[in-house]
Amino acid sequence: AGVMITASHNPPEYNGIKVWNHNGMAYSPAQEKEIERIIQEKDYITVDWDNLGSSEHLNITKMYMEDVIEHVKVKAGLKVVVDCGCGAASYITPAILRMVGCEVLSLNCQPDGFFPGRDPEPTPENLKDLMDVVKVSGADLGIAHDGDADRMVAVDEKGRFADFDKLLTLIAREKGGKIITTVDASISLDECLKEVDGEVIRTKVGDVHVAEALIREGGSFGGEPSGTWLHPEFSLSPDGIFSALKLIEIVSEKGPLSKLLDEIPSYYNIRDKIPCPDTKKDNVMEKVKEQLPQQFTEKIQIDNIDGVRISLEDNSWVLIRPSGTESYIRVRIEAKREETARKLHNISRSFIEKTIRGL
């Protein structure tokens, strides 16, 4: 196994531990529960102090960078602005981009666990400096990571924050074959994969579920709209640095990022979260599963992979999921027109709020 000290995109006062299997895949929920059981029951395996084994320092950074470069083909000459948020990729991403021939401008690329430059979550609000620098410097694109660099987000050459779903679709269309994604991914992915005879397979939200499906289905690529992408030819763990190189590879071969993203169908999205006591979540979701689909006409598919996803004939859809970490019911709506999305949102939110009050 491998162990990583990380709080991902959370503020500096947070910390955590992530455990990895020998094949590079994160521990599954069942494995994590077993660790919790061992800790709670103090069911440890103990050894004497003089039988603890030994440690060895490996230059894994050099090994990693060499391995990444072997898997990408970037045409030299692109100008890239990189914002690592003072996180784990601060040295590696700028260096590896220079190694493949990019001209690099760096922001917040000095490691500092207090994240003085910006919050580690790579949102549009936190990346205004990156967007401005890309535009005024005439760069071809910008790249940003979260704290531990398992995610990658991008800014096009016009200084626009790249839509998460469109980035996922862009990479998936290039890969083709079986694409593994989560229930909250856009229908634009399905539309574009049809053009290359690809197939979309959806899983529960979470990179470990994507990794498991990649193995099970023999997928060519997997990812979540959050910017967490998995490339099975390289690793079964999400890797923001490798993902950045693959995106730059596409831009170096096929032209401006703005043009590539604008070619992908656009949908109107609404994301909402409704306060709900944890004790009521199961009952609320049971009512959603049984009764909410009846509120919609022309429904064509209902999936219960992770929460309840209701797909409609016009390609719009509704996803209702309980938050696993907060006292909320999460709602995501996608539709071609804003009017349709707002109508679906009003129906869904009203139903959920009424259900919560009635329990």
What CATH number did the domain enclosing 349 receive?
A: 3.30.310.50
- Together in a domain, 35 and 102: no
Q: Which two tokens stand for residue 93?
A: 């991403």
What local confidence, expressed as pLDDT, does residue 1 receive? 84
Q: Of 288, 283, 309, 310, give the one whose Cα is nearest residue 299.
A: 310
Alpha helices in the chain (DSSP H): 29-41, 60-70, 92-99, 128-137, 164-175, 188-195, 207-217, 240-254, 257-262, 281-291, 338-358
Whether residue 225 sits in one domain with residue 87:
yes
**Residue 6 resides in a domain:** yes
Same domain, 83 and 43: no
Domain count, the chain: 3
User: Residue 41 falls within a domain, yes or no?
Assistant: yes
What pLDDT score does 321 carry? Answer: 97
CA distance 21 to 10: 23
Last residue of a domain, one of 26, 51, 76: 51
Do 309 and 204 have their domain in common? no
Query: In this structure, are 71 and 210 located in the same domain?
Result: yes
Domain shared by 135 and 234, yes or no = yes
Are both 308 and 233 inside the same structural domain?
A: no
Predicted local confidence at residue 150, as pLDDT: 95
SS3 state of residue 117: coil
End position of a domain, from candidates 214, 235, 262: 262
295 plus 350 within the same structural domain = yes
Whether residue 164 lies inside any domain: the answer is: yes
Q: How far, CA to CA in Å, does 272 sit from each of 84, 123, 203, 299?
A: 28, 16, 21, 21
Q: What global pTM score does this model have?
A: 0.91
**Could you say which of 8, 188, 226, 235 is catalytic?**
8
Q: Could you identify the residue written with the tokens 């990583």?
A: 4
Which CATH number does the domain housing residue 89 bear? 3.40.120.10
Q: Could you tell me if 219 and 278 lie in one domain?
A: no
Distance between start and end Cα atoms, the chain? 44
Assigned domain for 139 exists: yes
Asked whether the beta carbons of 76 and 104 are under 8 A apart, the reply is: no
**C-alpha span between 100 and 182 (Å, rounded):** 32
The answer to whether residues 72 and 34 belong to one domain is: no
Question: Are 253 and 288 part of one and the same domain?
Answer: no
- Decide if 169 is inside a domain: yes
29 and 98, same domain (yes or no): no
What tokens were used for 64? 């990693």
Residue 198 within any structural domain of the chain: yes
Choose one of 262, 279, 314: the last residue of a domain: 262
Phi, psi angle pair for 105, to nearest 5°: -110, 130
Which of 125, 122, 90, 119 is CA-nearest to residue 106?
A: 90
Residues of the chain with pLDDT under 50: none
Please report where in the chains the tokens 């910006």 appear, as a residue.
118
Q: How far apart, in whole angstroms, are the C-alpha atoms of residue 335 and residue 142?
A: 28
56 within domain boundaries: no
What's the pLDDT at 52? 85
Asked if 226 is an active-site residue, the reply is: no
46: domain range? 2-51
